[in-house]
Amino acid sequence: MIGWTLRRLTQSFLVVLLMTLVVFVGLNAIGNPMDILVGEDLNQAERLQAIAHLGLDKPLWEQYLIFLKGAVHGNLGQSFVYHEDAMRLILQRLPATFELAFCALFLAVVIGVPLGMFAGTYPDHPLSRMMMAASIVGFSLPAFWVALMMIMLFSIKLGWLPASGRGETRELFGVQWSWLTLDGLQHLLLPALNLALFKISLVLRLTRAGVREVLPQEFVKFARAKGLSPMRVMCMHVMRNTMIPVVTVLAMELGSTIAYAVVTESIFSWPGAGKLILDSINMLDRPVVVAYLMVVVVIFVVLNLIVDGLYYLLDPRVRVEGSR
Amino acid sequence: MNAASKPVPSHVGLQAQSPWRRVVLEFISSPTAVVGLLVLVLIMLVAVLAPWIVVQNPYDLMQLNVLDARLAPGSANMDSGYTYWLGTDGQGRDLVSAILYGLRISLWVGIGSALIAAVIGTLVGLVSAYVGGWLDALLMRLVDLLLSFPVILMALMILAWLGKGVGNVMLTLILLEWAYYARTARGQALTESRREYVDAARGQGIGPWRIVVGHILPNCLPPLIVIGALQIARAITLEATLSFLGLGVPVTEPSLGLLIANGFQYMLSNEYWISLFPGLALLITIVAINLVGDRLRDVLNPRLLR
């Protein structure tokens, strides 16, 4: 166990280190932020002073080392645009993104699991066939276009739900949340549903496959023979055994949900980290872009590590393979 | 299994036919896939022939009339009386023309990048499998790294670095896609290289390069074709998404994604058609490709065959 943990930790550390190099060098190779940030009216001396102030006059490798040293201390530089700590900016916006991503996963489970269980129990029912066809469309639909259509239908035509912003928020643990107020929940529903569409299809298919695999097994027949109600058999015996792959896949999907929130946030004007990064890319605000990419990379690596760790603990086959 | 009782050709008969004939026969036995293929062919035809079909060149600012901007579907052109069947966008572009030209860009970017990525990825996969050793380990770690992050994140990273443009979007897609082909080609090549016919070829004194290209590669193709079909759909979606976010193609040459983005600002004033119709075109294209790809996967899947 210790050997496995150490090796995985080293691997993860190397991945993060490699990504810092790729992100930093890549972003510095092309595009001069000075052209955008500094007005035409500056003279040459003032220009040079501004460059020196931002540390852009040093050679690239030295900039990278300074960046690395800062990164270890959680300092990824000052935003060129907001004149604030880039890391702080991201962390301020991250709760809104997390809120959106978790709500999307919640919706995916709440909608996808019951539908998947139905489709798995009655595979030939017309409703099940419809669900499977709909899930193919769910995989094909460009999410951003669906978002626009949702806004058009539910916000503009019907006027049921608001289309932008977080609505009223309430503080919990020093952070503002939308899901604690009714108005906030209304604002949350459309973007979360949009972000969840792909996951709903995924969960539906996984659950359906799982149910079809578990249903013919002996312990289900035995539970039925004991005279348990069909509801109890489904909830206690079938569902438990189908949820393992669903939970692992969703844990891994959390990272990509956070990444895809960029699209959803920009459409629904959700003030999360994704909207910030898009604005920052367009304004060539390098430190914020770098800070965002690094934060998401770290989230991703940590998630993978957790999922792998759980697998290691739960599945003995992985241990045998890992020791080779 | 009793072969005589089945209407389909028996296994013996299958082997006698050429494999591609069998693939075609099995493909057309699914009506949905055939419909998908027909729609796809139609879409590609109108996209290629767009300059001869449309009434105006949507990229030629001289042909656009601002007075015709944001007309509802079915409105008539001020000058020539031509009907805008799907309306016009904020710059007075006829949406039919804009969608056909947008399709051209979307298909070009999607198919072009998928093909180039397929060639590069397959080559890397074959070399990796054949050479082995540290090169194999290095290349496959790189593939793992690329595939372990979500595509949209990597695309943002690369486009933040490269900047806008049709060429840059294609380059981004290629950089992201080759890894899928490389992993599949390597896995397939490793399985194939253990088969008897490779030993036989080696025994005949055929050189390693000719064995890889002439013997192993053709047997690796089926899964790569399936991946290619599905990757084209993914590439088109990703291009549309990136263009929608303002990171993809330039505003002077709107692809479908950018047309949808342009329509977004007018949607709040109930001018829905500018976003709706390009989106429908995009959706139909992607569903058609996915239908064809799904059927190809069923037909070409070697696990279902053997």
Note the pLDDT of residue B119.
92
Query: Does the distance separating the beta carbons of A30 and B163 come in below 8 Å?
Result: yes
> A140, B283: Cβ pair inside 8 Å?
yes
What is the token pair recorded at B275?
A: 């976003």
Give me the pLDDT at residue A56, please: 67
A140 interaction partners in chain B (CB closer than 8 Å): 233, 283, 286-287, 290
Instruction: Decide if B235 contacts B109 (C-beta within 8 A).
Output: yes
Residues 41-70 of B with CB under 8 A from A: none
- What is the rounded average pLDDT of the residues A261-265? 87
Residue B277: both structure tokens together: 């119709």
A301 CA: distance to closest CA in chain B (Å) = 9
DSSP assignment string, chain B: --GGG-SSPPHHHHHHS-HHHHHHHHHTT-HHHHHHHHHHHHHHHHHHTHHHH-SS-TT-GGG--GGGTTPPTTEEPTTT--EETT-B-TT--BHHHHHHHHHHHHHHHHHHHHHHHHHHHHHHHHHHHHH-HHHHHHHHHHHHHHHHS-HHHHHHHHHHHH-SSHHHHHHHHHHHHHHHHHHHHHHHHHHHHTSHHHHHHHHTT--HHHIIIIIIHHHHHHHHHHHHHHHHHHHHHHHHHHHHTTSSS-TTS--HHHHHHHHHHHHTTT-THHHHHHHHHHHHHHHHHHHHHHHHHHHH-HHHH-
Indicate whether A230 pLDDT > 90: no
Distance CA A306, CA B219 (A): 38
- Split at pLDDT 50, 70, 90, the class of B116 is very high
CB contact under 8 Å between A282 and B246, yes or no, is: yes
**Of the candidates A148, A256, A281, which has its C-beta nearest B156's C-beta?**
A281
Confidence at B1, pLDDT banded by 50, 70, 90: very low
Contact A104/B at CB under 8 A:
no
Distance between CA atoms of residues B36 and A136, nearest Å: 13
Phi, psi of B148 (to 5 degrees): -85, -10
Greater pLDDT, B180 or A11: B180
B135 Cβ contact partners less than 8 Å away, ≥ 6 residues apart: B127, B128
The whole-model pTM stands at: 0.80
Contact map slice: B 142-171 vs A, CB within 8 A: 145, 148-150, 152-153, 156-163
As a dihedral over the C-alpha atoms of residue A140, residue A143, residue A147, residue A152, rounded to 10 degrees, the angle is -30
CB pairs under 8 A between A and B: 104
Residues of A in contact with B163 (CB under 8 A): 30-31
Chain A residues closer than 8 Å to B241 by CB: 142-144, 263
- The total of structural domains in chain B comes to 1
Touching check for A214 and chain B: CB below 8 Å? no
* A145 with B283: Cβ contact below 8 A: yes
Closest chain B residue by Cα to residue A137: B287
Residues of chain A found within 8 Å of residue B103, distances taken between Cβ atoms:
none
Asked whether the ipTM of the predicted complex exceeds the cut of 0.85, the reply is: no
B264, A149: Cβ pair inside 8 Å? no
Higher per-residue pLDDT: B186 or A238: B186
Give me the mean pLDDT over the A284-295 stretch: 80
Confidence of residue B305 (pLDDT cuts 50, 70, 90): very low
Write down the pLDDT at residue A248. Answer: 76
Question: How would residue B72 be classed by pLDDT, with cut points 50, 70 and 90?
Answer: low
- Residue B122 in any domain: the answer is yes
- Quote the DSSP letter at residue B256: H
Q: Report yes or no on B27 lying in a domain.
A: no
Structural domain includes residue B178: yes
Tell me, yes or no, whether B70 lies in a domain: no
For A253, the closest chain B residue by CA position comes to B150
Query: How does residue B118 score in pLDDT terms, banded at 50, 70 and 90?
Result: very high
Q: What percent of chain B has pLDDT over 90?
A: 5
B19 located within any domain: no
Q: Is residue B92 in a domain?
A: no
Q: What residues of B are in contact with residue A267 (Cβ under 8 Å)? A: 264
Mean residue pLDDT of chain B comes to 79
CA angle A72, A76, A81 (to 5 degrees): 170
Q: How many CB atoms lie within 10 A of CB A168?
A: 15
**Residues of chain A neighbouring B279 (CB-CB closer than 8 A):** 142, 145, 148-149
pLDDT exceeds 70 at position A53: no
Contact yes or no for B290 and A136 at CB 8 A? yes
- Distance from B10 to chain A by nearest Cα, in Å? 28
Residues facing residue A117 across a β-bridge: none
What's the rounded mean pLDDT across residues B77-101? Answer: 72
Is residue B293 one of the residues assigned to a domain? Answer: no
Residue B238 scores a pLDDT above 50: yes
pLDDT at B3 > cutoff 50: no
DSSP type of residue A238? I
What pLDDT shows up at residue A319? 60
Of A30, A281, A297, the CB nearest to B247: A281
pLDDT at A140 (0 to 100): 77
The answer to the question of residue B153 being in a domain is: yes
- Put simply, whether B259 touches A (Cβ < 8 Å) is no
Task: For residues A290-308, give the mean pLDDT.
Answer: 82
Q: Give A64 to chain B, closest Cα distance, Å.
A: 16
Residue B206, pLDDT score: 81
Residue B195, pLDDT score: 81
pLDDT tens digit sequence for B164-188: 788 888 898 998 889 989 988 888 8
Read off the CATH number of the domain in which B210 is found: 1.10.3720.10
Question: Which residue segment(s) compose the domain that B175 sits in?
Answer: 104-254
- Of the pLDDT bands very low, low, confident and very high (cuts 50, 70, 90), residue B9 is very low
Does any CB of chain A come closer than 8 Å to the CB of residue B294?
Answer: yes
Q: Which residue did the predictor score with more confidence, A175 or B120? A: B120
Which residues of chain A are within 8 Å of residue B246 when distances are taken between CB atoms?
A: 278, 282
